Chains A and B, each alone.
Chain A
Amino acid sequence: MTPLLVVAGALVGAPLRLLVTRLAARGGRDPAGGTLTVNVAGSALLGLVLGAAATPPAVVALVGTGFCGTLTTFSTFGGDVVRMVEQRRLARGLAYVLATVVLGVGAAALGYVAAPG
Chain B
Amino acid sequence: MRYAPGSSRPRPEARPELARGEGAGVLYLLAALGGALGALARWGVGTALPHSPGGWPWATLLVNLTGCLLFGVLIALLAARSPEPPWARPFLAVGVLGGYTTCSAFAVEAVGLAEAGHPVPAVGYVLVSVVGGVLAVAAGALAVRAVRSR
Using CB atoms and an 8 Å cutoff, list the residues of chain A in contact with chain B.
Answer: 2-3, 6-7, 9-15, 17-19, 21-22, 39, 42-43, 45-47, 50, 61, 64-66, 68-79, 81-82, 85, 97, 100-101, 104-105, 107-109, 112
**Chain B contact residues: over half helix, strand or loop, or mixed?**
helix
B134: interface (CB < 8 Å): yes
Residue numbers in A under 8 Å from B97 (CB-CB): 73, 75-76
19 A-B pairs with C-beta separation under 8 A: A10-B35, A11-B33, A17-B31, A18-B90, A43-B104, A47-B108, A47-B111, A70-B35, A70-B38, A70-B98, A73-B99, A74-B67, A74-B101, A75-B67, A75-B100, A77-B133, A82-B141, A85-B138, A101-B126
Also in contact, A15 and B71, with CB within 8 A (given A74-B64, A104-B106): no
A-contacting residues, B20-48, CB 8 Å = 27-29, 31-36, 38-40, 42-43, 46
Least CB distance, B92 to chain A, in whole angstroms = 10
Also in contact, A109 and B111, with CB within 8 A (given A79-B137, A82-B137): yes
In contact, B104 and A42 (Cβ under 8 angstroms) = yes
Also in contact, A105 and B36, with CB within 8 A (given A14-B94, A73-B101): no
In contact, A3 and B43 (Cβ under 8 angstroms) = yes
A11 to B30, CA, bound (A): 10
Selected contact of A46 from candidates B31, B75, B107, CB within 8 Å: B107
A85 to B110, CA, bound (A): 26
A92 to B18, CA, bound (A): 25
Also in contact, A14 and B31, with CB within 8 A (given A7-B40, A47-B111, A75-B97): yes
A-B contact count (CB 8 A): 179
In contact, A14 and B68 (Cβ under 8 angstroms) = no
In contact, A7 and B18 (Cβ under 8 angstroms) = no
> 13 additional contacts, CB 8 Å, given A11-B33, A11-B35?
A10-B32, A14-B39, A15-B28, A15-B29, A42-B103, A43-B108, A47-B111, A69-B104, A70-B36, A73-B102, A76-B98, A82-B141, A104-B107
Also in contact, A105 and B107, with CB within 8 A (given A70-B35, A70-B38, A75-B100): yes
In contact, A105 and B111 (Cβ under 8 angstroms) = yes
The 7 A-B residue pairs with the shortest CB-CB distance, nearest first, are A14-B35, A10-B39, A74-B101, A108-B107, A72-B103, A75-B71, A43-B107
In contact, B32 and A15 (Cβ under 8 angstroms) = yes
In contact, A46 and B126 (Cβ under 8 angstroms) = no
In contact, A107 and B94 (Cβ under 8 angstroms) = no
A-contacting residues, B55-93, CB 8 Å = 64, 67-68, 70-72, 75, 90, 93
